[in-house]
Amino acid sequence: MTHDPGGEIPSSLAPAAARLSLACEQDIATAARALADGAAVAHGFGNFYALSSSPAPEVVAWVNRVKGRPPDQIGSVVTTPLRLPRLFDWEALPAGLTPARVFDLMEHLLALGPFGFRGPAAAHVPDHLTGRDGARRTLQLIAPGSRCPSNAFLQTAMLRTGTEFLHITSANPSRHRTGAADEPAHFRGDALAQAFAAEPRLLVLHHADDALARARHPLHAPMSTTILAFHRLGVPAAHDPPRLLVERHGSLPIERLQQELAPFGFGLELGPGARRRLGERDYGDAPQAA
């Protein structure tokens, strides 16, 4: 499919003054058609918002520019729970891990809410959506949780684009563009829409109720996800269980993650990027739109 990230959203797909909602099948279809035509869609995602687009390289580069990032910045991916196993190279797991053991843990964490994983990338995932850790080719999956209504939108958008996954990033302008010390992810759709109001090719697909979305995830703070790596292991002390590496400390607190890992026979180790927790966006006293 050919995309034109520099053009306008066709008038038949533009949201105009309408407020698109994850609770409306027609709005989901509208947003999915726009995404397939090269637009980006900021949408409810667990208890906050994320920004999804086609995984085509030219669209990923355009989304990076919209956010204020370098156009060649490596992207993350998102998919629905049934397609998740196809994204990883399960034969490349480190010694001591089995696909069944890892996948059982992934299912468990995603049943709690939004979460991120980094593992060995499957061969069919393109290079612009993979990273490197030494000789290891890796993929970063950011998922909304198995109960999130955004899975219906992701499924529809993937059918429209003919892909098994989409590109995903945080729904906020980059700090490189705003000059702020930190730019946390948005968890209010009205503020997110205002932040990208000047970008005609970006739609916002709102939670039906932002406050309710947050209340449904009492374990998670409304911020970008915690990320757990399973492409390599930390170094455990003698007789300790194998340690999975936490690459980012986000919405699920480390203390809670440790509790969730224990029944699966895993410990955890904090990577350099996880020693400080992400910040939560502060809206001050600004009222939320109804």
pLDDT of residue 4: 56
Backbone torsions φ then ψ of 195, nearest 5 degrees: -65, -30
Residue 232 lies in a domain: yes
What is the span of the domain harbouring residue 264? 20-274
Task: Quote the strand ranges of 80-226, DSSP E.
Answer: 115-120, 131-133, 136-143, 166-170, 202-206
User: Do 117 and 229 meet the contact criterion of CB atoms below 8 Å apart?
Assistant: yes
The pLDDT of residue 285 is 62
Q: Does 4 fall in a domain?
A: no
In sign, the C-alpha dihedral spanning 152, 154, 158, 160 is: positive
Give residues with Cβ within 8 angstroms of 20, minimum separation 6. Answer: 27, 30, 31, 203, 204, 205, 206
Tokens representing 45? 């995602």
Please report whether residue 15 resides in a domain.
no
Q: What integer pLDDT is reported at residue 179 of this predicted model?
A: 57
Which residues lie closer than 8 Å to 150 by C-beta, 6 or more apart?
22, 43, 44, 45, 46, 144, 205
Q: Does 103 fall in a domain?
A: yes
Looking at the structure of the chain, the number of domains it has is 1
285 in a structural domain: no
Nearest to 256 by CA among 98, 50, 45, 113: 113
What does the pLDDT profile of the chain (290 residues) look like in tens digits? 445 554 444 444 444 446 899 999 999 999 999 999 999 999 999 999 999 999 999 999 999 999 999 999 999 999 999 999 999 999 999 988 999 999 999 999 999 999 999 999 999 999 999 999 988 999 999 999 999 999 999 999 999 999 999 999 999 987 666 656 678 999 999 999 999 998 999 999 999 999 999 999 999 999 999 999 999 998 776 678 889 999 999 999 999 999 999 999 999 999 999 999 999 999 986 555 44
Predicted structure pTM score: 0.91
119 closest CA partner among 246, 231, 29: 231
Within a domain: 12: no
Question: What does the block give as tokens for 288?
Answer: 């939320």
CATH of the domain at 148: 3.90.870.10
Decide if 288 is inside a domain: no
State how far the Cα of 58 lies from the Cα of 60, in Å rounded to an integer: 6
- Give pLDDT, residue 8: 46
Q: Is 212 among the domain residues? A: yes
Position 15 scores a pLDDT of: 44
pLDDT of residue 288: 53
